[in-house]
Amino acid sequence: MLPKKEHPKEKTKLHPRNKHRERYDFKELIKSCPELEQYVELNDYNDESIDFFDAEAVKTLNKALLKHFYAVNYWEIPQNYLCPPIPGRADYIHYAADLLGNLNNGKIPTGEKITCLDIGVGANCVYPIIGNKEYGWNFIGTEIDSVAVDSANKIIDMNAQLKEKIEIRLQQNPKDILYGVLKKDERIDISFCNPPFHASLEEAQAGTLRKLSNLKGKKITTASLNFGGKNNELWCKGGEIGFVRDMIRQSKQFSESVFWFTTSISKQSNLNAIYQELEKANAIEVKTIPMGQGNKTSRIVAWTFKTKEEQQKWVKEKW
């Protein structure tokens, strides 16, 4: 047994309103989700934990977190689909809320008057779950994978509080991001997106091996699917940068109906190319919001085509 680790009381890199700043209280989580108990054990430091290499353990931890903090009684995802880290997803939601609040004299707009768009909602439906619970927002989730659509719809159907609040739409054309799923007259306050990181399957597998090696503290040579992720969730032609460039180009056509477009960007080296694309598209305002989870630093890039006057008008009329 290694000497007990001294852990900071709070994960201060997470957003101040994030419910996951404290270390996981496994006793409380097990009360909410008894099936988690079978996966909780003492680690080398004599701390309660789970084996993050075990896909079922990771999924059950997510279930427990969603039940305990977000009142979600049913949450299942098909095998091998992305099982996202809940604290990081919550961070994105809270920073987006701040972005809206800054335009509203510091008051975050809440309730169903706010409509969000989640591009690539996934089988897990996590952004809409957190955004609806924390701020009462409505969501439209888009997805190119019909299995993921069915899974997200089942989560909504099995949790009464999510019905009528989240609508999932199948994107028929994988080359399109906004066309075909967004109606011209719909008014969206903010969009969310976690683009596929990688440009190829090989790159995605190498990324998974890096992630697992970091987790284990030693070189791992065979990829385990504990984080899950179907091909279209992990990679696409052109990778993160290609996807976001396409999104920026299409966003110009929806400049009237969407207030803020946002996307997470995992690779800092992609930022300059993204800023150039935004300049080309004549975005009026661009913001970069840093996020930090554990050892990983990520960021949100947000842009709007609305002038200050148009922004004020939107806030006044809609919020």
Contact 154, 139 (CB under 8 A): no
Identify which of 169, 190, 189 has the alpha carbon closest to the alpha carbon of residue 180.
169
pLDDT attached to residue 256: 94
Q: pLDDT class for 198, splitting at 50, 70, 90?
A: very low
CA 179 to chain centre: 21
Say if residue 213's pLDDT is above 80.
Answer: no
Q: Could you read off the pLDDT of 216-268 as tens digits, one per residue?
A: 555 555 545 445 555 554 445 657 899 999 999 999 999 999 999 999 998 89
Q: pLDDT class for 80, splitting at 50, 70, 90?
A: confident
Q: Report pTM.
A: 0.87
Which has more confidence, 54 or 219?
A: 54
Q: Could you read off the pLDDT of 85-110 as tens digits, one per residue?
A: 999 999 999 999 999 999 999 999 99
Say if residue 58's pLDDT is above 60.
Answer: yes
Q: What is the mean pLDDT of residues 188-211?
A: 66
pLDDT attached to residue 46: 82
Residue type, 144: I
**Arithmetic mean of pLDDT over the chain:** 87
Strand ranges (E), the chain:
41-42, 48-49, 115-119, 138-143, 166-170, 188-193, 258-265, 285-293, 296-304
